[in-house]
Amino acid sequence: MTGFSLLLRGGLVADGTGATPAARDVAVVGRRIALVEPGAVVEADETVDVSGMVVAPGFIDAHTHSDTTALAAADGLLEAEQAFAAVRQGVTVEVAGNCGSSAFPGTYSGLAALARAHAGVGRTNHLVSLVGHGSLRAAVVGPEARPASGAEIARMAQLLDESLAAGAVGLSTGLIYTPGSYADTDEVTALARVAARHGKPYVTHLRDEMSGVEGALAEAVAIARDSGAALHVSHHKTAGRFAWGRTETTLPMLADLRASGMDVTCDVYPYTAGSTNLPAMLPPWAHDGGLPRLLERLRDPLQRDLMRTAIDEGVPGWENTVGNGGWDRISVASARRHPEYQGRTVAELAAARAVDALDLVAELLVDEDGDVTIISHSMREDDVRRVLAAPFAMIGSDGVPKPGLPHPRWAGTFSRVLGHYAREAGLFGLAEAVRKMTGATAARFGLTGRGVLRDGAHADVVVFDPERVADRATFEDPLAAPEGVLMVVVGGAVVVRDGEVLRARPGRVLAC
């Protein structure tokens, strides 16, 4: 054999299928790979001795909010560490467009326009995208809290059909976020039927992941059954003190559905804290009419009183994160004009100012034009472990790349699973950890030839030290690079070597 650009010699191959790792050499030819028997005489432009290392398919992040991260970094709106946090861990494909929010329709006319924008600045790794239901609704219905008409649903279905035909990998919803939360089950089911016709999944951030999680999961199952679409539950959790321990109910429910023949999976991140935007802590009616109307209401003391009451007493059908936990569990992650707030809880900030927490939140959101992200310490470790261990769960960071002190999951998820949960805690073996990050995710999103190491597969590869790999990102230092990731190859080109991001930009926005 000749013509190889790179030969990784002496490593242990975890091929992404869950099979026992085996000694094989891995060669790169063009943008594809070939497996070589150990010791075979081959020629390559570069040979790297990876003895004692694991060679695996590049990791596939099942859930990100990185649709425009590379573009923002190119515009100087994000630091390079944000743009490179995923690939430094070995992530070679990011699945974006989650929680009902995608870059199209809206900012970009479609997947092809998004791809052209990324091609113009260059990517270290690949990106695929779901189509966000909230983005569809914003484009067709607008930000109003009302049912969509039949004609509007038909128009959303047409836009979704066009995007899926162009290569988007599924439909996503974020049913706690407006305007998606204004939709009823029938509207979502109608759109999920379009995904089913394309053989692509319905991917959902449930309407409630807290006290109403079982009912929200039942709604998602009904949508999948009635539409015929495969179901994928985003970042499955049972959060807030009224839901702790309920994974003992939800996971058997999903397992029983799978045993009955239903195509259902989920993803999970390996942390007990979540992250989202601060406006999501406010009741849905406060968002009616979009951001300008929300900010107008926040300036009104009477409207703030109504929001306080809604948080204290709840609103039917609303998740109510603060009511399920408290402002003392919510810290500011990103606030451009108030960097001194970052890393501190809302309760702490309000106490320091001797003001009510809701009034402080209102002032902050008005000052920041609504653009504030938060970290919510809302989960319990036993629930996280149960979801991680489920054989139908794959790994997604739910990364929200923003300035400030973002959640460390964007920079630490994959190395944390390998180091802490697989090696140290023994929650599963190395081969299973790799499968959850690669082959399982590729199969879920139809990424043919990715997520596996076999002859002819795409040359997306990660090399790591199984004894050293570990996450270093913390809430105080959220972008710290991991340990033990030696090399990352994307599209046949080395993009990371010994933790350093190189100049190669072989990544693309993929149509699947």
Q: Residue 442 maps to which CATH number?
A: 3.20.20.140
Domain count, the chain: 2
Domain residue limits at 315:
283-373
**Residue 334 sits in the same domain as residue 219:** no
User: Rounded to whole angstroms, what are the CA distances from 109 to 104, 113, 139?
Assistant: 6, 6, 11
Are 220 and 342 members of one domain?
Answer: no
Domain boundary among 320, 346, 373: 373
> Does 213 share its domain with 101?
yes
Identify whether residues 92 and 169 lie together within a single domain: yes
pLDDT in tens, the chain (512 residues): 458 999 999 999 999 999 999 999 999 999 999 999 988 888 999 999 999 999 999 999 999 999 999 999 999 989 888 999 999 999 999 999 999 999 999 999 999 999 999 999 999 999 999 999 999 999 999 999 999 999 999 999 999 999 999 999 999 999 999 999 999 999 999 999 999 999 999 999 999 999 999 999 999 999 999 999 999 999 999 999 999 999 999 999 999 999 999 999 999 999 999 999 999 999 999 999 999 999 999 999 999 999 999 999 999 989 999 998 999 999 999 999 999 999 999 999 999 999 999 999 999 999 999 999 999 999 999 999 999 999 999 999 999 999 999 999 999 999 999 999 999 999 999 999 999 999 999 999 999 999 999 999 999 999 999 999 999 999 999 999 999 999 999 999 999 999 999 999 999 999 99
Q: How far apart are CA 388 and CA 395, in angstroms?
A: 8
What integer pLDDT is reported at residue 3 of this predicted model? Answer: 80
Q: Give the pair of three-digit tokens for residue 61.
A: 């992040």
The answer to whether residues 426 and 391 belong to one domain is yes
Domain C-terminal end among 328, 349, 373: 373
Other CB atoms closer than 10 Å to residue 400's CB: what's the count? 23
Specify the pLDDT at position 1: 43
Q: Are residues 240 and 351 in the same domain?
A: no
User: 336 and 203: one domain?
Assistant: no
Q: 10-39 burial string, b = 16+ CB within 10 Å, else e?
A: bbbbbbbbbeebeebbbbbbeeebbbbeee
Q: Which helix (H) or strand (E) holds 227?
A: helix 213-227
pLDDT of the residue at 41: 87
- At 223-241, the pLDDT tens digits run 999 999 999 999 999 999 9
**For residue 469, what is the DSSP state?**
-
Q: Which of 448, 464, 491 is the last residue of a domain?
A: 448
Whether residue 194 sits in one domain with residue 124 = yes
Regarding whether 437 and 331 lie in a shared domain, the answer is no
